[in-house]
Each structure stands twice: as structure tokens, then as C-alpha cells.
A and B are shown apart, each in its own frame.
Chain A
Amino acid sequence: MSRSVHVLLFYFVAHLGLIFFIYPEDIIACAEEGHWVPILVGFAVHVFFLWLFVKGLSLGGNRDMVSLYLGLGKAPAVLLLLPVFVYYAMVDVITVRAYSEIVSIVFLEKTPLWAVMALLFLIPVWLANAGIRPIFYATALVAIVCLPLFLFIFAASFQSVDWRYFFPLFDRHYGFLWDSSFYKSFFAFAGVFLFLGFVQPYFTFRIRGLMWASVLLVPFFLFSVYIPVLTFGEATASNFHYPFVVTLDTLQINWLMFERVTVFFLMSLLTFVMLLVALVLWQSVELAVRFFPRMNRGWTLLVLSAIVFGCCLRIRSWHDIELLFMWNTWIRAYIMLVVPATVYWIGRRAKKEPDYESIPTNS
């Protein structure tokens, strides 16, 4: 087994955590038939820019993203990375708020929302304070326990699918390209991959391994949308809020002592999401501290967390979250397209420079 397994595992499970909730709803909303086309188009875009990003990083001599940008000078680096910082803050707010809402809907109706949010946020803050290595090591341990649980329930969710709903295969209008839901669905891609630009001094990874990990994700992207569609039909599935979760609630596993396996499915994904929030927080602090080295890590994290949690509390309804989603579409596009492209460009430029020196990795 390769040494980069921690990085790849994190990439894999963090995506799993994001896929099954908002993503299916957006994809079902953006196309009436042939859902695999928007899924694969979105995925192809992601993989291309992912490749560009990691290639740029490796050309730049296996440095982390911030030092690559700092090569341009401090002011341009701050300008270019400011949207990343803002996006990270928004990712924290949206995930914590949205997932608390799901928890609240599915099985903690009586617990006040702020308490759920506090739980879902405090543990990531604590993890972020511990640093990037503990986050990755904890991911491995959590995955050993939660991944089998997740895979079991995922496999069981095929229980009442009707494969005929797979047709019609094609959507002739390609209307999804003009639908805002399609662009909203990129949330599932954009939130995770930038962490690869931060891991370098601590962990190494191989590009080929990463590409395999992303290929492994394809079935989960596909079936997160297709399981509700195949179970209920497109017309019904499009009415649901969190279609995949609704599908899970219909599962009947007679030989199990549990009535609602949804709870366990949600919980395993929620732990993955908490790990993601932890890493995103850590990255935000890292960004701030790298640009302003006099800032204290602990205090920065504390202030940032207070702001994020304050924002979470301010959001009153699901409608506000949707609004936030719409607002950050542009930043998301920036994260997905511009950042990888600039990293690739900087990496190539750095390689051509005469005093170029690659940091050796011992992988």
C-alpha cells in the first residue's frame, strides 16, 4: 500500500460526505432525463482541473500552494487567495448549518438547532486546533469503522430500484447547461480538492493514485442521483428535499434489529463531513498565518470559529442557505477553474526559472 493512502482516503471520504445530500437534489432539478450526462460532465470538469492543479503543484516542486503564490509577491498572492479564504468560511457556514438541519429533520426534532450546530462545529474546531496530521490519522481510523457501515447501507439501498427508470438515456436539449442548479451541484466538487495544495510538507501523494481515487468516486456520484430516481421515478424524486435520504427511509432490512438504518448512514457521512470542516478550518488558519506570520494560530482559529458560528446562528431558514449557495456560485467557479489554472501556470513558470529547486520527497 502506498504511503499517500491518508491523503487519498481523505479525498475519498470527504467527497462521500458531500455527495449524498444536496447533490442529488440539484442534479434531479437540472435535468428531467439522462441524468448521467450532467453528472459525468460535472465530473469531467472536476477531474480535468484537479489534474491541472496537482500537475501544477508537482511542477512547482512539491511546495504547498501558498508558497507557490507567494512566489508572485505578497500583494498578488493575497488578492488571488482572498476568494479562497472567503469560500472556505462559506463552506464552513453552509456545511455546518445544512447538516445540522438534516440531523434536526431526521432524528433530533426536539433538540434546539444551535445545540446540534455546536456539536457539529466544536469537534471540528478542536480537530483543527490539533493540526493536519491528527486530522488525517483520525480520518483513517474513522474510515475503518464507518466506511463498511456506509458501504453496507449503500448496497442495501438498491433494494427497491426499478431499472426501467434508467430510460430515456439521453436528454436531447442539454438544458442542464443553462440551469443554475447544475452549477450549484459543483458544491460537491469544489469544497474538497484544494486541500491537496496544503498537504505537501506534511504528506505526499501520487497523482496516479489520486486519479484512481477520483474514478472510484464515479459510481457514488452516479448512484446518489440514480437510486432515488430508480426507486421513485424522476417525477416523484424531483419533489423531495434530500431525495437520497428519503429513499433510505423506505429501506426494510428484516434481519436487522434496527428499523431506521438511515440514522447510521447519515452518521457515518456526518463524521466524514466533520473531518472536512476541520480540515477547511485548518486551511483557513494556515492561509491567514502564512500571510501574517505574527498572528497566533490558536487565537486566529478562535476568532474565525466565532465568526463562522455566529453566521450559522444568523441563518434563520433553509431559504437563506439556498441564497448563500447562489451567491457563492461565482467564487465556486473561481475555486474550480481559476485556482487550478493559476497554480499550473505558476508551476510551469517556476520550473523554467534557473534557480528552480524541487523539494525532494521521500516517497
Chain B
Amino acid sequence: MADWIEELSRRFKDDIDWLDERDDLLGETVRLLGFGSLVDLAETKSAVWKFAASTPGDGLSEKRLLGFESSANDSKEAVQAVLDGKLLVVPEKENGICWVLTPVARMLERPVSSPNLENVIRGPASAFTENVDTNIGIARQFLRSAMLKVDVVRTGRDSPTRVAILYMAGRADPDFVRKLDENLRTNKIEDVSTLQGLIAALGYPKRSLITKLNSTELPSEAACMLRKGKVILFVDRMPYALIMPTLLWDLFALESDQNFPVYIMYGIRAIRVIGALMTILLPALYVALVAINPEALRIQLALSVAQSREGVPYPAFLETLTMLLVLELILEGSIRLPKSVGPTITMVGGIILGQAVVSAKLVSNLLIIVLAATTIANSTIAGFQNSYAIRVLKYVTLVLSAIFGIIGIFAGFLAICGYLASQSTYGVNYLQFPGWKDEVRHE
């Protein structure tokens, strides 16, 4: 028996779920190595016996057809195989041979179920799971095309994670796919199990506000993206598809919109655009019109605004900032809380915001309306991860409007546009319209 197999056995000996058994397989004594927590040994044995009984020929080496898919040649390969939930079969007689068997795995996965984060009103309702292979299978079901190409890369230094790259040959930009593949293979980042790590592995700074990876739980959405020439990544243990490149338009358009009549679809999308604009502009507009440029308002309106602020003891900017902070706290709090307690927070928040604060004359009525509208508007944006970016960006216009009034809002809006425009994914600009190719690729 080779030294490295002994070494492997010593290495994992202390783990309670380590499996090291001698068994008789087709007249030969073999050693079975693996993790009992990942491998269902009894089922595996019975499957192997059943297979062995039905196949002609004798001796282990001739029966490598099913399950005995490959052999490990050194300890690194063997460790990887064991960690992936494979079973190592080492014949005692033959020196240095170590087969890798795909065993019957323990049921550690949830079955394909309906989506948790994204609601489908009209459309297929299955969602991706944590397993890369299952996800690839689901994608193949939704996109039965020979053009769909799948590649799996293992990346990450400490715990190599499987990342699957899916794209449609002929639709996706080959240059883009090449750059993506190169980066994933060459950048050795310690941990790619979080998106921050993955983005670093893709060769991008972590500091960007805009996510480079859009995500969706819905296979139908993912299939549509593939058809549009985008690239999809599946990361092991992440129950969603990561879509690249990201575009601003993704904030406003979902593929499931196309299940509605065309004009309804336009309407829905227009509402999302208005939602994004309102989120960025409304709080800033309130501050600018109340504090700096009240003359821009019609006099009656300006007076009623002033009246609603009567008795409020601090400047409009601080008023808005404090209430926005409370709102952000409520939003964040209601994510953390278990579902059974969630409504409490909503109720308490609603009462505090809606009634108490106003009747205590701490903030004006109008501000409550403005902020409620802003929060509602913010949640119209497609994709929860995208709404975060907009939520943060509204502070840019808010601060500038507090200093410069309406001109600050426009300047802030320009700065936001400039920021969005400076984002790109392997040469695809964030503000590019879907379907438009860039004129000349330079990056």
C-alpha cells in the first residue's frame, strides 16, 4: 500500500465521521476510505454488489465500468475526492492503486422547490438549489439547446469551490467568456463562497457599489438571460444563478414581465423607472425646497409646507437624515427577525413613524409622506440586491441638496450617472442598452 494512502488515513483518523473499513469485494480484500457523513455505505455496498452480480467477467480491474470512474494518483487528488463525497477503494494486493467510486450519497440537499426571495406572478415556479449539478440540470431542462455550453472551474485556495460557467455558444461574446474563464482560473482567492470573494476572483475591486453579479432564483429568468447572450455562473452552495454582465436595465426589466400583454409590460417597467428616480430625487427635493429654494414652489404650497414644519426644532436636512436612518433600521431589522416576530417591528415602526413622531412635532407630516413614498418606490426595483445600490445613492443627492439646493440635486444626479457610467464588466458598460454591442472593445 502506497505511503500517501497511509498518510491520508492518518490525517483524517481523528475525525469522528472518517470511514476506514476492510471489506471483501469480488474476492479481493479492499480498503474503503471516505466520510461516513457524506456516504451512505450500506446503500453503496448493495448497489456495488448488485452491479457486480449482473456484469460478466471477474476481478476488480475489469469491473471499472460503473461507479469506479477514475483513480487517484496522489494524496492531493485523493483528499479532494474524499471531500467531494467520493469513496476511495484501495485493493490490498495491488500496490499504489486507488479507485474513486461515486457512492450513494446521503440526502443532504433540499429538493427543487419554489423560490423564496422572488415572487412569480405568472410563470414557472421552480427554483435553483444549492447543488451545482442539480442547477446545471435545471438549466438544461429550461434551455434544451445544443448551443448551451457548460464548464466547471474549481477555484479558491483553502476550500476549492466548484463554479460552473454556462453560456450559449454563438450568442455570448466569446471574448467575454474567455476573459471570465481566464480570471477564474488564474486568480487564486482564498475563499469564493461569498460573492465578495467571487468578485475578487473575477478580478474586480470589492469597493464598487454596483454589483457585478446579478442573481436570480428562477430558472426561467436564467434561461432568458442565456438566450440574450449573457453568461451565468453557478457557485456550489449558492441557491441562485449569478448573471454577468450586469446592466442598469436589469433594475427595471424582468423576463417574467413578458408573460403580460405588451402595454402592461411597458407600464410595469415605467413604474420601476419612476421608482428608482423617486428614490434618488424625492428626499433631496424635500430638503432643497424646504430649506434652500422655497421660492421655486408656488406660494400657497410653500406656505403649507412651512406650516407643516411649524414647531420642528431642527433643520430639514437633519430631520430627513434622522428619519431615513430610522427607516433603514426598520428595513434591516425586519430582515433579521424571524417571520413570527417580523410583523411586530412593522407595527411598532408604523406607529412610531406614522403617529407619534408627528404629534410630538419632531418631524413634519410632509416628510413622513415623502419618506414613505421613497421607501415604497425603492422596493419596486427588480432584484433585491439592486435596490441596495439605489438606497445608498440617494444620500449623494440628499447631502448635495442640503448644501446647494436644487442645483445640488441635479449635480448629484449627474455624479450618480457618471458613477454608473464608469462601471463596466470586461468591457461591457453598465449603462449599455441591452442588445447593443459596444463600438470598439478596448479593455
Asked if A74 lies at the interface with its beta carbon under 8 angstroms from chain B, I say no
Asked if A166 lies at the interface with its beta carbon under 8 angstroms from chain B, I say no
A138 close to B439 (CB less than 8 A): no
Among A108, A136, A146, contact of B407 (Cβ-Cβ < 8 Å)? A108
A107 close to B405 (CB less than 8 A): yes
Asked if A142 lies at the interface with its beta carbon under 8 angstroms from chain B, I say yes
Which chain B residues in 258-293 approach chain A with CB under 8 Å?
277, 292-293
Asked if A202 lies at the interface with its beta carbon under 8 angstroms from chain B, I say yes
Among B297, B407, B432, max chain A CB count under 10 A is at B407
A203 close to B439 (CB less than 8 A): yes
Among A134, A202, A274, contact of B439 (Cβ-Cβ < 8 Å)? A202
Among A133, A142, A145, A264, contact of B429 (Cβ-Cβ < 8 Å)? A133
Name the CB-closest residue of A to B412: A123
Instruction: State in angstroms the CA–CA spacing of A362 and B441 once bound together.
Output: 11
Instruction: State in angstroms the CA–CA spacing of A260 and B413 once bound together.
Output: 20
Asked if B93 lies at the interface with its beta carbon under 8 angstroms from chain A, I say no
Chain A interface bracket (under 10, 10 to 19, 20 to 34, 35 or more): 35 or more
A130 close to B299 (CB less than 8 A): no
Name the CB-closest residue of B to A7: B439
Asked if B176 lies at the interface with its beta carbon under 8 angstroms from chain A, I say no
A142 close to B296 (CB less than 8 A): no
Among A107, A127, A136, A259, contact of B406 (Cβ-Cβ < 8 Å)? A107
B421 close to A119 (CB less than 8 A): no
Minimum CB–CB distance for B2 against chain A, Å: 57
B439 close to A103 (CB less than 8 A): no
Stretch among A209-217, A233-241, A265-273, A309-317 lining the B interface: A265-273
A123 close to B418 (CB less than 8 A): yes
B414 close to A271 (CB less than 8 A): yes
B296 close to A260 (CB less than 8 A): yes
A270 close to B410 (CB less than 8 A): yes
B418 close to A127 (CB less than 8 A): yes
Asked if A131 lies at the interface with its beta carbon under 8 angstroms from chain B, I say yes
A-contact bits for B295-309, CB 8 A (1 contact / 0 none) = 111110110000000
Asked if A257 lies at the interface with its beta carbon under 8 angstroms from chain B, I say yes
Among B403, B407, B421, B439, contact of A270 (Cβ-Cβ < 8 Å)? B407
A123 close to B414 (CB less than 8 A): yes
Extra pairs beyond A137-B430, A260-B296, A267-B407 (15, CB < 8 Å): A107-B405, A107-B407, A119-B411, A130-B422, A134-B429, A135-B418, A140-B431, A141-B420, A202-B442, A264-B406, A268-B410, A271-B411, A271-B414, A274-B411, A361-B440
Query: Which 5 A/B pairs are nearest by Cβ-Cβ distance?
Result: A137-B421, A134-B421, A138-B421, A137-B431, A130-B422
- 26 contacting pairs across A/B (C-beta < 8 A): A107-B293, A107-B406, A108-B407, A119-B404, A127-B414, A130-B418, A133-B421, A135-B421, A138-B414, A138-B421, A140-B431, A141-B248, A141-B417, A141-B420, A204-B439, A257-B298, A258-B298, A259-B296, A259-B302, A260-B296, A263-B296, A268-B410, A271-B413, A271-B414, A278-B418, A361-B440
